[in-house]
Structure 1
Amino acid sequence: MLWFLSCVALLIGGYFIYGAFVEKVFGVKESRKTPAHTQQDGVDYVPLPTHKVYLIQLLNIAGVGPIFGPIMGALYGPAAMLWIVLGCIFAGAVHDYFSGMLSVRNNGASVPTIVGKYLGNGAKHFMNLFAIVLLLLVGVVFVSAPAGMLTNLINDNTGLAVGMGTMVALVFAYYLVATIVPVDKIIGRLYPFFGALLIFMSVGLISAIALSPEHSLLGDYTVSQMFTNMNPNDMPLWPALFITIACGAISGFHATQSPLMARCVENEKNGRFVFYGAMIGEGVIALIWCALALSYFGSVESLAAAVSNGGPGAVVYEASFGLLGVFGGILAFLGVVILPITSGDTAFRSSRLILAEYFGVEQKSIKKRLMIALPLFAIGGVLTQVDFGIIWRYFGFANQLTAVMMLWTASAYLAKENKFHWISTVPALFMSTVVTTFILNDPTQGFGLPLPLSTAAGVIVAITAAYLVVGVLGKQPIVEGDEVNA
């Protein structure tokens, strides 16, 4: 219990202390009008109350990642919670803050445009392609995952026999509608209710296990085990843990989502609460599920057996109903299902906006929105036929590489502005090493090279990137007319 509460306290303290420092380095301008006002169009640029923007941002970024990832990460033991805390405060929340605020400063621009502005046109073209691929992978993952969970929920508790294909079609239909209608019509109205379910799920489950006479909230683990790798399959922490737990620590997918709310923020002073704060909120969710996975099953060996019998989705199902009964379990399980749905719809929405921005297609007309959205959904439909495990595997690497690009973009901006760039450069160095080491070492996705050689190459790549971004690009002036200097 003390370990869990300490981790939560550190996250909250990180928001108030380190978050305030990051905000000061960036330098908000409360008198400066945001894109929600200067480019209001009634579709994507719509001023929304801060509490709504926060809830939408939290639900946009929190798909199955901060649940499935921490469950898989829990196989390494309570030490996984250290990465959630440190990664969230010093990497993920910094990443999310700059992806949101640089969008605010650049007329609500999407991540490829922001990357291109500070890292060059080559990086922009790469990110346009890479972001669309990532978002399609996310969209497909967040169709398959909730459709599967909903199918099991309905069939197990109603006596009906709903097919997986039917549920996939229903989820796709909702995504299409949510992608093309104005942001305040569905997302702005339903997400606060969804947020209430999410809060119930998080607080209800962790309270239930803390009060349960049959389970102990991390009470069966010793102090030394809190800092050791307990993986029953002898999997090394480095670098796999930092890919396995992405959402909840740092996730490049968030960089594609933050511009959606950058178009709705009413004042720059709200940025720390909306962007940095939403990431802290996701970190708490990740801590809850990591602790639940470790505590409900009693040991990493029992957790590994549960995962092998049905994946992390089965762990969610068993813990929800086991701790809260049928009614509470249904509500808690729905709270989990909502997370991928509220990220899946905005993944397709982000794809539409990125393509519209790249090709210069206005989005006030619903015909123009459909012209871009329909081909995206056709491709997504084809990808749903690919094995879920393959899609998820490549999503993890693509996700963290996107985070690396966004962190280096923040460093380039800060260096150009003669500000303290180390707040983004240090996590960028670390994550560059992680991503490079992983792709060189991993035998299924990468090249299967020895771990020491892969790590050495990762360090070299990270240092080289730092020199090019901070030492070269960071010394070049920002182009004239940059909105950041307005």
Structure 2
Amino acid sequence: MITFLVAILTLVLGYFIYGKFIERFFGADDSIETPAIRLKDDVDFIVMPTWKMFTIQFLNIAGLGPIFGAILGAMYGPIAYIWIVFGCIFMGATHDYFSGMLSIRNSGSSFPEIVGKYLGTGFQNFLRIFTILLLVLVGVAFVTGPAGLLKDLTGGGFYFWLYGIFTYYLVATLLPINKIIGKIYPIFGAALLIMAVTIAGTMIFKSIDGSLHMNEINFSQLKNLHSNPGQNILYPMMFIVISCGAISGFHSTQSPMMARCMKKESYGRPVFFGAMIAEGIVAIIWATAAMNFFGDTHSLNETITSGHNPAWVVNEICNTWLGKIGAIFAIIGVIACPITTGDTAFRSARLTIADMLNIKQVSIRSRLLVSLPLFAVGFSLSQLEFSTIWKYLGLANQILSMIMLWTGAMYLAKKNKFHYVLSLPASFMTAICFTYLLVAPIKNGGLNINTQYGILIGILIALVAFSLFQLSIKKKYKTQKLRI
């Protein structure tokens, strides 16, 4: 229990200490008029209360990510704690804060447009296609899963639920953000937090009364405890599997939505940094629950490799520990949360396309112009088998985080600030992404080359990227001096 409580406390302190440092370091300034006020259109640009933005942002970036990812990550053992805690504070929360604040400073621009400004049109054009594809795939994946679960629960037809969810997605994407998302999301966001807190409280209570033995982290466990370590390499695969609880590029596609609703820049810390810390806490809770509910990490591995998936684990833990209330939480977790992630993915795709083509989104006609083709593509893709494509989404997610970190680092460099706050995490994620691409088994989205060579090449690529970044800074600095 000590490991669990120390991990939670460290995340909380990370918000108050490092979060405050990042806020001051960035230079949040309430005297600057935000896009929500300056560009108000009562559709996407509209002022919202801070508490509501926090719950919406939390639900947008979380969904099932910090639950399923943490459960799968727990299969590697207690070493997952280190990545979740320190990755969340020094990388994930900082990544989310900069993605949101840079959007505010650039009129609520979507992620590819921000990247284009700081890294150039080449990255911008790549990210436009890459981001839209990722968002559509995320949206589609979170249609078919809930539709299948609803079919099993109700006995209704799969396509009945598929059409119903797609219809909801379209309506939620078209309507002003305060009509559905602003009203429903805070409820589901609060439910997701309450579920995690309830699970945490249950573990603590059971640990105190002796009915649950909570394993503590120790040096002997700081290794890969996965039942199939040859196919599930600790470095870099754990850093891809646990993304939403530590750092996730998908968040950079979601932050601009709240950036368009923020009244003051000082609200950025609780909304962007704070929501990510909350997600890290949820990930710690579920990683701990998964490792201890079945006895230990080895038992968790046996359970999942025997044919049970994370959704089954969530349902089993909730029903066993929380009874009927747990069953309700489980339904919210495995059905409602994916749906709320899917509709914001489509909404983000609409905003990204609109920004790219410079199509104003004030009228319903202009929103339909962008949304209908988008949903036509999404519906077509929903008819395909996504088991293979989904393997690549974890890698694609972290590639986005890598690019966002380099973008933030370039912003800091242009402001003559200490860019290492972001350039070092960016270098680390560059090594992770390229190493994964090289050494992961082909069925998991990699090339499956020799592990040692792949790790070495990944590190070399990261060093080259860092060197090119430094050269780019020096080149821009010399150009500025010549102009002066």
Give the C-alpha shift of residue 384 in structure 1: 2.2
In the alignment, what sits opposite 2:219? 224
Give the C-alpha shift of residue 221 in structure 1: 4.9
Distance across 2 between alignment mates of 1:249 and 1:321: 27
Alpha-carbon displacement from aligned partner over 1:271-321 (angstroms, at most 9, x marks no partner): 111111110011011111111111111122332233232311111111111
Give the C-alpha shift of residue 465 in structure 1: 1.5
In the alignment, what sits opposite 1:207? 201
In the alignment, what sits opposite 1:266? 263
Give the C-alpha shift of residue 478 in structure 1: 13
% of aligned pairs identical?
47
- Note the 1:397-476 alignment, pairs <5 A: 397-444=395-442, 445-473=445-473, 476=476
Q: For 1:338, which of 336, 339, 342 is the aligned residue?
A: 336
Q: For 1:187, which of 177, 181, 185 is the aligned residue?
A: 181
Contact 1:201/1:333 (<8 A) preserved: no
Distance across 2 between alignment mates of 1:243 and 1:218: 29
In the alignment, what sits opposite 1:40? 40
Contact 2:354/2:360 (<8 A) preserved: yes
- Note the 1:56-135 alignment, pairs <5 A: 56-135=56-135
In the alignment, what sits opposite 1:483? none
Distance across 2 between alignment mates of 1:476 and 1:368: 39
Distance across 2 between alignment mates of 1:94 and 1:150: 37
Tell whether 2:249 aligns with 1:252: yes
Distance across 2 between alignment mates of 1:302 and 1:385: 36
- Note the 1:292-331 alignment, pairs <5 A: 292-308=289-305, 309-331=307-329
Contact 1:432/1:461 (<8 A) preserved: yes
The two structures have a TM-score, normalised by structure 2, of: 0.93
Give the C-alpha shift of residue 378 in structure 1: 1.8
Aligned-partner residue type, residue 370 of structure 2: I
In the alignment, what sits opposite 1:387? 385
Distance across 1 between alignment mates of 2:447 and 2:227: 25
Distance across 1 between alignment mates of 2:297 and 2:392: 25
Give the C-alpha shift of residue 449 in structure 1: 1.4
Alpha-carbon displacement from aligned partner over 1:247-271 (angstroms, at most 9, x marks no partner): 0100000000000000001101111
In the alignment, what sits opposite 1:372? 370
Matched residue SS, 2:308: helix
Give the C-alpha shift of residue 236 in structure 1: 2.5
- Going from structure 1 to structure 2, the CA distance change for 1:217 and 1:48 (only over 3 Å counts) comes to farther
- Going from structure 1 to structure 2, the CA distance change for 1:338 and 1:225 (only over 3 Å counts) comes to farther
Distance across 1 between alignment mates of 2:144 and 2:473: 41
Segments of structure 2 that go 5 or more residues without pairing to the other structure are: none
Q: How many residues align?
A: 474
Give the C-alpha shift of residue 13 in structure 1: 0.7
- Going from structure 1 to structure 2, the CA distance change for 1:448 and 1:436 (only over 3 Å counts) comes to same
Alpha-carbon displacement from aligned partner over 1:191-236 (angstroms, at most 9, x marks no partner): 1211221122111122223334898666245633552321122233
Contact 1:75/1:304 (<8 A) preserved: yes
Give the C-alpha shift of residue 332 in structure 1: 4.1
Aligned-partner residue type, residue 291 of structure 1: T
In the alignment, what sits opposite 1:161? 155
Contact 1:320/1:332 (<8 A) preserved: yes
Give the C-alpha shift of residue 140 in structure 1: 1.7
Distance across 1 between alignment mates of 2:239 and 2:366: 40
In the alignment, what sits opposite 1:287? 284
Aligned-partner residue type, residue 161 of structure 2: M
Distance across 1 between alignment mates of 2:156 and 2:176: 31
Alpha-carbon displacement from aligned partner over 1:324-349 (angstroms, at most 9, x marks no partner): 11243223431453322222111100
Distance across 1 between alignment mates of 2:410 and 2:219: 40
Contact 1:198/1:336 (<8 A) preserved: no
Q: Which moved more, 1:31-40 or 1:56-65?
A: 56-65
Alpha-carbon displacement from aligned partner over 1:427-478 (angstroms, at most 9, x marks no partner): 1011000000000112312222111111121112112212222431475279
Aligned-partner residue type, residue 467 of structure 1: S
Q: For 2:240, which of 237, 243, 267 is the aligned residue?
A: 243
Contact 1:8/1:287 (<8 A) preserved: yes
Aligned-partner residue type, residue 453 of structure 2: L
Distance across 1 between alignment mates of 2:449 and 2:157: 43
In the alignment, what sits opposite 1:26? 26
Aligned-partner residue type, residue 133 of structure 2: V
Contact 1:36/1:264 (<8 A) preserved: yes
Contact 1:144/1:384 (<8 A) preserved: yes
Alpha-carbon displacement from aligned partner over 1:43-96 (angstroms, at most 9, x marks no partner): 000011111111111111002211111111110111111110011001101110
Distance across 2 between alignment mates of 1:295 and 1:164: 35
Distance across 2 between alignment mates of 1:97 and 1:103: 10
Q: Which moved more, 1:377-386 or 1:33-42?
A: 377-386
- Going from structure 1 to structure 2, the CA distance change for 1:404 and 1:313 (only over 3 Å counts) comes to same
Segments of structure 1 that go 5 or more residues without pairing to the other structure are: 481-486
- Going from structure 1 to structure 2, the CA distance change for 1:367 and 1:129 (only over 3 Å counts) comes to same
Give the C-alpha shift of residue 479 in structure 1: 12
Distance across 2 between alignment mates of 1:477 and 1:149: 56
Q: Which moved more, 1:223-232 or 1:428-437?
A: 223-232
Matched residue SS, 1:240: helix
Alpha-carbon displacement from aligned partner over 1:161-186 (angstroms, at most 9, x marks no partner): 12333222222221111111000111
CA RMSD of aligned residues (A): 2.1
Alpha-carbon displacement from aligned partner over 1:12-63 (angstroms, at most 9, x marks no partner): 1111111111112111111000000000001000011111111111111002
Give the C-alpha shift of residue 138 in structure 1: 1.2
Distance across 2 between alignment mates of 1:237 and 1:465: 23
